Amino acid sequence: MDDYDNESISVAEALRRIESDLIPITESVQVALRSALGQVLAQDVCSPINVPAFPNSAMDGYALRHCDAAAPRLRVVGTAFAGKPYAQVIHLDECLRIFTGAMLPEGADTVVMQEYVQTDGESIQLTTACTLGQFVIKVGDDVKAGQIILRAGKRLLPADLGLLASLGITEVAVKRRLRVAYFSTGDELCALGEVPKPSQIYDSNRYSLAGLLSRLNMDGLDMGIIPDDPVAVENAFSHAARDCDAIITSGGVSVGDADFVTTVLRKIGQIHFWKIAMKPGRPLTFGKIQKVVFFGLSGNPVSMISTFYQFVQPALRYLQGQQKVQALRFQVPCLSPLKKLQGRVEFQRGILVPDEQGKLSVRSTGKQAANMLSSVSQANCFIVLPVECREVAVGDVVWVEPFEGLI
């Protein structure tokens, strides 16, 4: 048995089609450095200074002239600390007690570690040979003035903020945050705080979407639950299209009689309805309402999250002008037997676990039904099973995508 469908397209092909129809935003804003975490740089950043701005010692030891290293003894003329330099020049047969980070005094060109020196009062003797310039950090050794240190499209991480601060940069130009509207559709859904009717379930997808968008540092507009009514659906789309860059819906994108999302989109926008050769998350609706990008995701919670990670997230990042980021994927042994049908890629939920030596393996969370949101909550990765795979035996090597590597 296989799951081949000649109307389905591959994950890679769907990604290609989506990207080809996207135009990254161009608007940018200036933000203070403390507010820049997670933002996308709008332009290259060049360093205004050298780092370090002065030669300094990489070790605790003694600064000297290399041409004096063979002298029987060198006189210690002072001490230099980080932030408290020695103001005099080092002359013939002289040296300076120096600590890590301290400015190298004029005349000195080499540092000898304190472990390779014998001290005798106010003089020292080297116990091993040294090389010219050893343990000296030169001007601009880390960053040179005028050097591009961060490229446009870089999503700023904590270390990036530290790097910018080390250069005295107080604010940066970043792409404005994307505005993303999202709502769920279906009379079967009940909002939190309400008492569900016998045939209703609580809406969980909007809360998952809120978290996913927040971790991408995007402004989410929660439009609630839209009933199975074509007028209500059209009004929701029209409202969202006025103020947002993208719209995400969950539910209502199949071919059932009560699924009005696709019908309304064909009326007011441009739409592509695809079947993707993947599980979970086979149905995917992509299109535009005027210039606003639309993603219609399955109402099944696991399918919604899977398709968001694989399609929506990279699309939103591209739309914001972020440099293309490949999801982290690597191979580990599998501790569980797995099965699947041929003809599609499967993103099964797994748990990466280290052994006593820290070597990672992965095990399945168990049942993989598309409605079992608990399986995603328990998991910390996808186990990615390729199209041709049919089964995995215990000990076989499989590909995994850690959830932390997908953000």
For the chain, what percent of residues have pLDDT higher than 70?
96
Give the model confidence (pLDDT) of 148-205 as tens digits.
Answer: 999 999 999 999 999 999 999 999 999 999 999 999 988 889 999 999 899 899 999 9
Average pLDDT over residues 351-361: 94
What's the whole-number average pLDDT of the chain? 92
Q: Is residue 235 part of a domain?
A: yes
Shared domain for 305 and 209, answered yes or no, is yes
Separation of alpha carbons 103 and 87, rounded Å: 10
How many of the other CB atoms lie within 10 Å of CB of 243? 10
Is a pLDDT exceeding 90 seen at residue 400?
yes
The domain that contains 346 carries what CATH number? 2.40.340.10
- Whichever domain contains 127, its CATH number is 2.170.190.11
pLDDT in the model for residue 1: 43
Helix axes 230-243, 261-268, angle to 10 degrees: 50
Question: Do 168 and 220 share a domain, yes or no?
Answer: no
- Would 324 be classed as within a structural domain? no
State whether 213 and 164 are in the same domain: no
23-44 mean pLDDT: 96
Question: Could you report the per-residue pLDDT of 269-295, keeping only the tens digit for each?
Answer: 888 888 899 999 888 889 999 899 999
CA-to-CA distance for 64 and 133, rounded, in angstroms? 10
Looking at the structure, tell me whether residues 212 and 289 fall in a common domain. yes
> Does residue 75 fall inside a structural domain?
yes
For residues 116-135, average pLDDT? 95
CATH of the domain at 162: 3.90.105.10
Residue percentage of the chain with pLDDT more than 90: 79
Would you state the pLDDT for residue 406? 63
| End residue of a domain, out of 295, 319, 343 | 319
Instruction: Please give the residue that has the higher pLDDT: either 81 or 368.
Output: 81
Give yes or no for residue 7 having a pLDDT over 90: no
Number of domains composing the chain: 4
For residue 109, what are the domain limits? 56-137
Same domain, 194 and 295: yes
Average pLDDT of span 7-18: 91
Q: Is the pLDDT of residue 124 over 90?
A: yes
Nearest 5°: CA angle at 253, between 251 and 255? Answer: 125
Say which CATH number the domain at 233 has: 3.40.980.10
Q: If pLDDT is split at 50, 70 and 90, which confidence band does 350 have?
A: very high
Q: Is residue 376 part of a domain?
A: yes
Q: Phi, psi (5° rounding) for residue 141?
A: -60, -35
Are 290 and 306 members of one domain?
A: yes
Residue 38 lies inside a defined structural domain of this protein: yes
Query: Of 42-46, 97-101, 185-189, 240-244, which gets the smallest average pLDDT?
Result: 185-189
Q: Are both 204 and 68 inside the same structural domain? A: no
12 closest CA partner among 302, 273, 278, 271: 278
- Locate 396 and state its tokens: 């076989």
Please indicate, yes or no, if residue 142 is contained in any of the structural domains.
Answer: no
More confident of the two residues 207 and 325: 207
Domain boundary among 293, 319, 345: 319
**Residue 257: band (very low, low, confident or very high) from pLDDT cuts 50, 70, 90:** very low
Question: Is 133 within 8 Å of 141 (Cβ atoms)?
Answer: no
Calpha distance 402→407 (Å, rounded): 9
Q: How far apart are CA 282 and CA 17, in angstroms?
A: 16
Q: Which of 286, 319, 352 is the last residue of a domain?
A: 319
For residues 247-253, average pLDDT: 85
The pLDDT confidence band at residue 254, using thresholds 50, 70 and 90, is: low
Overall average pLDDT of the 54-77 stretch: 97
Q: What is the pLDDT of residue 253?
A: 63
Q: Which structure tokens are listed for 25? A: 């935003």
| For residues 28-37, average pLDDT | 96
Higher pLDDT pick, 77 / 258: 77
Please report whether residue 2 resides in a domain: no
